Every structure is written in structure tokens, then in C-alpha cells.
Amino acid sequence: MAAFQDRPKINIPKTKSEKVWDIIGYFCFFCSLVFLPLTWSALPEQIPAHYNAAGEVDRSGSKWELLLLPGVGVFTIILMTLFEKFPEIHNYPKRLNASNAARFYRNSRKMVNQLKNICLIMFAFLLVKSITIALGWREGAGVWMLPIILIGVFTPIVTGMVKQRKIE
């Protein structure tokens, strides 16, 4: 097993798709962060804190729990941005070498970028959904919430793995 310190370090500029994903992910997350303080004083003390697989609220909690989603989002931004910045530390097959490293790195970095931004969109969605339900503007998150989240998370992973298998 070759240590990642032996891998080539290549400066690969972000692709247009990575920039677009960043704009969408950060925009959604930022909008949810703006929405929270705008609605804070109208929120009841108890808000939806957890949803079951059918998208129904199955636990209520303090409105202060809403601060967890932005906190986890910021942590996600920091951690996954570091993973994007250093693709040479990612896990690769043994066929990684100097001639194909750029393709492996770009593919892996794109996957991390998409996952980061899908997580930010998901956190924004959950935050806004919890606020709107607490304010009585909506009922439940809907039966499609879990399947959409799972598809959103697993699609970049599966497509990234398929693309990685094609790299020679």
C-alpha cells in the first residue's frame, strides 16, 4: 500500500460544474441562514426536531435545536472543502499513477464537491421545512423527503465510482 505522501500533488483548477454546484449549495444554505433569524421571534418554543421515514414529525424539541443544522453545515463546509483541496489523500485503486492521477483527482474531487453541496441543500431544506411546519405553514415533510435525500446523496457516489472504474 502506497502512502498518500508518495502520490503526485497536482494543482487542478475547479471545473465549471464544481463552481455551479458551489453557487447553488452555498446560496441555498445562506438563504436558510437568513430565513432563521427572520422567523425566530415567531417560532414557538417547541418545533419539529425529527422526521420518520414517511416525512412525519416524530419528535419535537426546543427551537434552539434549529441551530444544530447551520452548525453541522458549517462543519461540513470546512471539512469537505479541505477534502476537495487535497484530493491526493482520497482513497484510490492501485492503478493510480502519475499519468492518470489528474483524472482520478478531478473525478474524486467532483464527487466530494457534489456531496458537500447536496448536504448543504439538504440542511437548508430541513431547516426551512422545520421552520415552516413549526409556524403552521405546512404539515409534515412529505413521504418523498427520505427517497429524495437518499437519491441525492448516493447519485454522486455511484456515478463517481462508475467514472473511476473507467479511468485507466
Residue 1 covered by a domain = no
Residue 118 covered by a domain = yes
Residue 3 covered by a domain = no
Residue 49 covered by a domain = yes
- Dig out the grid coordinates for 100 from the structure: 492518470
| Spatial separation of the C-alpha atoms in residues 68 and 88, rounded to whole Å | 31
| Spatial separation of the C-alpha atoms in residues 65 and 11, rounded to whole Å | 40
| CB 111, CB 92: distance < 8 Å | no
Q: How many CB atoms lie within 10 A of CB 90?
A: 18
Residue 6 covered by a domain = no
The share of the chain scoring above pLDDT 70, in percent, equals: 97
pLDDT band at 99 (very low <50, low <70, confident <90, very high): very high
pLDDT band at 1 (very low <50, low <70, confident <90, very high): very low
Residue 156 covered by a domain = yes
Residue numbers of the domain that contains 101: 11-166
Strand partners, 51: 57
Domain count, the chain: 1
Q: Which residues lie closer than 8 Å to 157 by C-beta, 6 or more apart?
A: 111, 115
Q: Which of 87, 75, 50 is nearest to 65 (CA)?
A: 50
Residue 69 covered by a domain = yes
- Dig out the grid coordinates for 84 from the structure: 476537495
Q: Quick one: average pLDDT of 101-126?
A: 96
Q: Quick one: average pLDDT of 118-134?
A: 94
Please give the DSSP secondary-structure letter assigned to residue 62: E
The model's pLDDT over 137-147, given as tens digits with 9 standing for 90+, comes to: 987 777 788 88
Residue 4 covered by a domain = no
